[in-house]
C-alpha cells in the first residue's frame, strides 16, 4: 500500500501576514494521520513556515532549487544544500510554469532533481501535457518523454526517493479538473513506464495528480488505483479547503 500524500504549492503568493494566517489555519485542521501532508511556500517564507509549523506533521518544501547542489556564486538562485539547512525536506522540480514561462528544459530539470537528492531532499517531479498536445493525441508521449529525461540521465532507481506529480497544463488554475478516468490513464502509463524497468519500484512510487483539485473533486480522484494524492495550487491557500482535501486522501 502506498501512503497518500497531499501537497500545497503556494506558488508566488503570500505576505508575512497572510502566511501567518495560513499557518494558523493549518494548525487548526484535523489532518489525517495516514496521509503525508506538505506545503511549498515561496522561498522567502520557508523559515516562517518551518517555524510556524514546528511540532506538526506538516512537511515543508521549496518550489524550485538551483541545478548546483552546493552554495556557489550564482546570483538569485537557492541551492538544495541551503534548502536542506532551512529544514526543507522536499522540492518541486520541473513545474510546468517554470518549463513554459521560464524555459526550463528536461536536461535542466534532471540536474535539479539530482541536486535535490544529493542533499537529502525528496524531489517532486512535475510532468504534464498542454491542451494542444492533448488535442493532438500526444499526452502519453509528452509525459513519457519528460519522465524518460530523468530516468535516462539518472537511472530508474532514483525514484525510490522521489515523488511524481502529473499536472496537465490545461487543468492548472483553470477550474478544469481532469476527469478521474483521464488522470488515471496517465498515472497508469507513468507507472507502467517505471515498471518496464523496475516493477518493484513502480509499485512503490507515489504519483500525485495536480490541476484545479478542490475538496469536492478530491475524493473521486484519489479513489483511482494509481492516484496517490494531490499537488494542490489555488485551493491550498485556504486552510479549510486544503484540510478537507487532505482528509479526502485519508478516507
Ligand atoms: P491549481 O490547483 O491552482 O490548478 O494549481 C495546480 C498546480 O500547479 C500545483 O502545482
Q: What is the pLDDT of residues 141-192, one digit of tens each?
A: 999 999 999 999 999 999 999 999 999 999 999 988 899 999 999 999 999 9
Atom of ligand 1 nearest to the CA of 232: 2
CA 247 to centroid of ligand 1, rounded, Å: 18
Total of domains in the chain: 1
Alpha-carbon torsion (106, 146, 6, 36), positive or negative = negative
pTM above 0.95, yes or no: yes
pLDDT band at 251 (very low <50, low <70, confident <90, very high): confident
CA 212 to centroid of ligand 1, rounded, Å: 6
Q: What is the mean pLDDT of the chain?
A: 97
What average pLDDT score do residues 19-47 get? 98
One of 45, 95, 129, 187 is an active-site residue; which one? 95
One of 104, 129, 167, 241 is an active-site residue; which one? 167
pLDDT band at 209 (very low <50, low <70, confident <90, very high): very high
Backbone angles phi, psi at 164, to 5 degrees: -115, 140
Domain containing 200 equals 5-250
What average pLDDT score do residues 12-34 get? 98
Atom of ligand 1 nearest to the CA of 40: 10
**95 is known as an active-site residue:** yes
Atom of ligand 1 nearest to the CA of 172: 4
Using most ligand atoms within 8 A of CB, pick from 9, 61, 97, 178 the residue to mutate for ligand 1. Answer: 9
Q: What is the pLDDT of residues 51-67, one digit of tens each?
A: 999 999 999 999 999 99
Nearest CA to ligand 1 atom 7: 233
Strand positions, DSSP E, 43-185 = 59-62, 90-93, 122-127, 163-166
Kindly list the protein residues whose Cβ atom lies closer than 6 A to any atom of ligand 1: 9, 95, 167, 172-173, 210-213, 231-235
Task: List the CATH number of the domain containing 65.
Answer: 3.20.20.70
Q: What is the pLDDT of residues 76-121, one digit of tens each?
A: 999 999 999 999 999 999 999 999 999 999 999 999 999 999 999 9
pLDDT band at 1 (very low <50, low <70, confident <90, very high): confident
Question: Cα(124)–Cα(96) distance, rounded to whole angstroms?
Answer: 12
- Around Cβ 159, how many Cβ atoms within 10 Å? 24
**13 is known as an active-site residue:** no
Backbone angles phi, psi at 210, to 5 degrees: -135, 145
> Hey, is 83 helix, strand or coil?
helix
Amino acid at each position: 500500500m502506498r501512503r497518500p500524500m497531499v501537497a500545497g504549492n503556494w506558488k508566488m503568493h503570500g505576505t508575512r501576514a497572510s502566511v501567518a494566517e495560513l499557518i494558523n489555519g493549518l494548525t487548526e485542521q484535523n489532518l489525517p494521520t495516514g496521509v503525508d501532508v506538505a506545503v511549498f511556500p515561496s522561498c522567502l517564507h520557508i523559515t516562517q513556515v518551518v517555524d510556524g509549523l514546528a511540532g506538526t506533521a506538516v512537511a515543508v518544501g521549496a518550489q524550485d532549487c538551483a541545478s548546483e547542489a552546493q552554495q556557489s556564486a550564482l546570483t538569485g538562485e537557492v541551492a538544495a544544500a541551503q534548502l536542506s539547512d532551512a529544514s526543507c525536506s522536499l522540492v518541486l522540480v520541473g513545474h510546468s510554469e517554470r518549463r513554459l514561462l521560464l524555459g526550463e528544459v528536461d536536461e535542466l530539470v534532471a540536474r535539479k532533481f539530482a541536486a535535490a537528492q544529493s542533499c537529502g531532499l525528496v524531489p517532486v517531479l512535475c510532468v504534464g501535457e498542454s491542451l494542444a498536445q492533448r488535442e493532438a493525441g500526444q499526452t502519453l508521449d509528452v509525459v513519457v518523454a519528460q519522465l524518460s529525461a530523468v530516468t535516462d540521465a539518472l537511472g530508474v532507481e532514483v525514484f525510490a526517493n522521489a515523488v511524481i506529480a502529473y499536472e496537465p497544463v490545461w487543468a492548472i488554475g483553470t477550474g478544469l479538473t481532469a476527469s478521474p478516468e483521464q488522470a488515471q490513464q496517465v498515472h497508469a502509463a507513468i507507472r507502467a513506464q517505471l515498471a518496464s524497468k523496475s516493477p518493484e519500484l513502480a509499485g512503490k512510487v507515489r504519483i500525485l495528480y495536480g490541476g484545479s483539485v478542490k475538496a469536492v473533486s478530491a475524493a473521486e480522484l484519489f479513489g483511482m488505483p494509481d492516484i496517490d494524492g494531490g499537488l494542490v495550487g489555488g485551493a491550498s491557500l485556504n486552510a479549510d479547503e486544503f484540510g478537507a482535501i487532505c482528509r479526502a486522501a485519508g478516507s
